[in-house]
Each structure stands twice: as C-alpha cells, then as structure tokens.
C-alpha cells in the first residue's frame, strides 16, 4: 500500500519547485546591543542606510504575492540573492499587527525561536523565508527517533518563550505554526542547529505576560488524540494523564524539575 503524499505547508508559492537552502545565506550581523543588553535585529552587511542615517535600508526586489490572512498579506521577495518573506497589513483589517509581530519576532529570536527577523520598514515585516513541512504532515514519513527529537525541540522553544515572558497563544493547536525543514532534527540528537530544523512561525498574536502558557498548552497537543493517532503507529505512546499532571505542576512555578519530567515523558514514550 502506497503512503499518501504528505501535505506541505511552506512559505512558498504553490508552483515553486526549488527548495531554498537555508544554510547557504549571505552573512548577517547583529546591530549593537541596546542599553538593556538585548540583541539588535539581524542586518545584511550590504544594505544602505536610511536617509535618517540611523536604520539600515533593505532593498527588496521581485516581490510576489503569496497568501492573504485576516490581518496580513504575505509576499516572497528577494534581498540580494536570498529569498525572504514580506508581510504587510491587510487593508481590510481594522487592526495593524505587523509592527507588533516584528517586535515579538525580534524578541523571541534572542532565544533561538522563530524565523530570523530582518527588518520592519515601510510598515512591512521582512523575515527569513521558511521552506518547510507542517509537523503533523511530516510525522507519517519520519522515524520515531526524529519525531521525539522534534517534539523535544518544540518543548525547548516553548520553555524559552515562557522564560522570556512571551505567550504565543496558539500552542494548543499549533499544527499550522510548526514547520520542519532540512528533513527534520539530526539523527545524532545534537542541538547545535536544531532550532533551524523545527521552526515556529506567525507571531502576530503573541503577547508579553507574566503567566505564559506555551509549555502547558503544547503538552495538551502532544498528548492529545490528534497527535496520538500520528505517533502511536510509530511505536510512541505518551501517557496523557502523566503528561498533564507534569504540566499542571509546571504551571505553578515554571520550575526546571517539572519541565524535566515533561521532557522525560517524551523521551521515554
């Protein structure tokens, strides 16, 4: 019996056939840290300065329509030889979330989360283009080891956002917001570039809060019925009751011990 072809969720136009080699980018540097010690946004070395002499100006070419959402319109474009994604406000939207998403993306980038933020200029967000597959579509043709590594990386990124005080608000059903690139996490389990293999996208609804719920929400997704139907045929069985108990304990203090128990529930599944 042939396996049905996995549905692919990418940032690319449907008829585009060429994969974008994300590990062959033009060199990027970061602007000088702010007074608060936060890293500045990524900057292309070859870009010119704006007329105000303070912010880099990015010359975008070959802008092509990609998709329309309730709050934004996405385009692919060229920044030098690189393919990037440009998101602009949907004129039909009452609320402009583009500037907010740019701010949130730049923030979570400091913890290795999300596509690389490049700039916010002329009311548009410019970020790394991600060519990947939705995680739930990737699982059926992935190995059990790779699936566990991917789930652990999702948890790591959720933990990073929790500690940063950012709530993504969509981690109960994140199937459209977690993409797998480069064929998934490396088989040796190393993490030096694992966040480039598991990429979370769409931060327009993210917010700052003292009580983020990223880890607790993703625990519900990982142990839920939808995920079980995908991972159990691979020999992975996660104890939902135990997982939710660990998540409940974690929610009280965001402590490392409870978080490690959550990770162990995935490793030992």
Distances (CA, A) of 176 to 12, 150, 206, 214: 14, 15, 15, 15
pLDDT at 170: 81
pTM of the model: 0.75
Q: What totals of helices (H) and strands (E) does the chain contain, helices first? A: 7, 14
- The residues with which 88 forms a beta bridge, in sequence order, are 73
pLDDT at 30: 37
pLDDT at 33: 34
- Could you state, in chain order, the average pLDDT of each consecutive group of 10 residues for the chain (269 residues)? 50 37 37 34 39 66 90 93 94 86 97 96 95 93 95 97 95 87 56 67 95 97 96 97 98 97 97
Calpha distance 207→249 (Å, rounded): 23
Q: What is the DSSP letter of 232?
A: G
Nearest alpha-carbon partner for 155 in 193, 195, 184, 188: 195
């Amino acid at each position: 019996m042939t396996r049905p072809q996995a549905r692919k969720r990418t940032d690319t136009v449907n008829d585009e056939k060429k994969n974008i080699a994300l590990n062959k980018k033009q060199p990027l540097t970061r602007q000088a840290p702010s007074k608060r010690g936060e890293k500045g946004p990524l900057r292309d070395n070859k870009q010119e300065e704006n007329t105000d002499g303070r912010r880099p100006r990015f010359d975008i070419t070959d802008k092509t329509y990609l998709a329309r959402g309730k709050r934004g319109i996405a385009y692919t474009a060229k920044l030098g030889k690189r393919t990037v994604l440009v998101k602009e406000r949907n004129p039909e939207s009452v609320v402009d979330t583009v500037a907010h998403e740019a701010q949130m993306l730049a923030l979570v980038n400091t913890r290795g989360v999300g596509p690389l933020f490049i700039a916010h200029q002329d009311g548009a967000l410019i970020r790394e283009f991600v060519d990947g597959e939705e995680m739930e579509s990737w699982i059926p043709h992935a190995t059990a080891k790779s699936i566990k590594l991917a789930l652990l990386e999702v948890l790591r990124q959720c933990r990073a956002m929790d500690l940063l005080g950012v709530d993504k608000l969509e981690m109960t059903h994140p199937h459209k917001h977690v993409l797998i690139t480069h064929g998934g996490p490396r088989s040796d389990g190393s993490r030096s570039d694992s966040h480039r293999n598991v990429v979370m996208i769409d931060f327009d609804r993210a917010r700052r809060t003292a009580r983020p719920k990223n880890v607790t929400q993703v625990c519900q997704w990982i142990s839920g019925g939808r995920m079980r139907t995908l991972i159990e045929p691979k020999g992975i069985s996660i104890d939902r009751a135990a997982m939710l108990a660990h998540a409940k304990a974690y929610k009280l203090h965001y402590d490392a011990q409870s978080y490690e128990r959550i990770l162990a529930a995935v490793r030992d599944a």
